[in-house]
Amino acid sequence: MENLTKTQLILLVLLVSFMTSLVTGIVSVALVNQAPAPVTQTINRVIEKVTTGKIEEPGGGGALIITSEDLITKLVADTLPAVVSVIASKDVPVIEQYFINPFENDDLFRQFLGDSLPQILIPQYRQKGTEKKQVSAGTGFFVSEDGYLITNRHVVEDNTAEYTVLMNDGRKMKAEVLARDQAQDIAVLKVEGSGFNFIPLGDSEKLRAGQTVVAIGNALGEFQNTVSVGVIAGLSRTIVASGAASGPEILQEVIQTDAAINPGNSGGPLLDLAGRAIGINTAVAADAQSIGFALPINFIKKAVSDVREFGKISYAYLGVRYVTITPQVKEDRKLPVDYGALLAAAEGQAAVINGSPAQKAGLREGDVVLEFGGTKADKENSLAKLISQKKVGEKVSLKVLRDGKEIIIEVELAERPTNL
């Protein structure tokens, strides 16, 4: 070192510095490559994944979905071809107005007044033939490509009317009413043909309060394809619906929504954000705002299945009157359980109806039905609801509490009589 010149010493220092920097750089690159991705990289990837996500259409094409608004507009565009206006037409009298002079053919007035009769004209009315006119309109939607569609019973309640559907593309097609459900406000119609756009059916048992829904209908019978958006405000409501020609009726297990449902929307679909029908728009609270009701789609599934299989809508029948047991009922009646269906007489009518499947199976007044077909009977799953999920002729096991002991009773369900 002592023999090195000043210049050589400077060059040596620079060389050592260069080598040190080179080694440090190599080590740093190796460490960076092995380290987790920086936060900014992670955020960029998340954003990239969201903004490039796609929802594939049934035909295989893709549509970029970025916002809930885009999702709803696409859902509506895909669904509208399956929604129709249901129009009722019938022959109605043509009434003609004419005028008469009450004194014109009165001999006594003519004798005294001659031709100076007072010119008094009184309007009269008479029928001059008939003409076919539209008498009502509602909404419906296709549930299969072979022309089955559904609407509310009160939309097609007139047995003397003829029904046509107005398609979204302007076509008018004759529709046949295959079945009117006497228990629920449902009707099944059929249009001849195939290849119709239809709406897939969801599962109303999986609905949640607060879930976003879309209602489509023929508002006021005039504004076709009216769309409204809201949420499910409540489930399993019981209401008394009026306005039908047959009078008020009790509807159970209905969906409450704040999506606008107007007169004329009846029979239209209530959709989830996947484009599946989860209800059929049915009623609106007249004295309130944004309170509408829809029948659960699982009711419609059963109706369509019955019509395809039996040509009519039928309901299973047990033949009992009961009180749903709650903690309060348990306390009031000194019962040993706080759930189930207590078979009890009501308003002078027997708890077990004479000649019913329940009587034939040996059920008695005072029995408590704890389970029906393996499902616990309680406030959430009433006995009536459990029965409605079964088919005519189906054999069901009942777990019954009688005199403090649990027994199993087998029953074969019959078809519900039309007078019930």
Catalytic residues, by residue number, are 154, 185, 266
Which residues is 320 bridged to in the sheet? 352
Return the amino acid letter for 347.
E
Rg (CA), the chain: 36
Q: For residues 120 and 191, what is the distance between their CA atoms, to the nearest angstrom?
A: 56
φ and ψ at 67, to 5 degrees?
Answer: -125, 165
d(CA 208, CA 251): 20
Residue that has been written with the tokens 């398609």 in this structure: 167
Distance CA 241, CA 228 (A): 21
- How deeply is 175 buried, as exposed, middle or buried, from its count of CB atoms within 10 A (0-12, 13-18, 19+)? buried
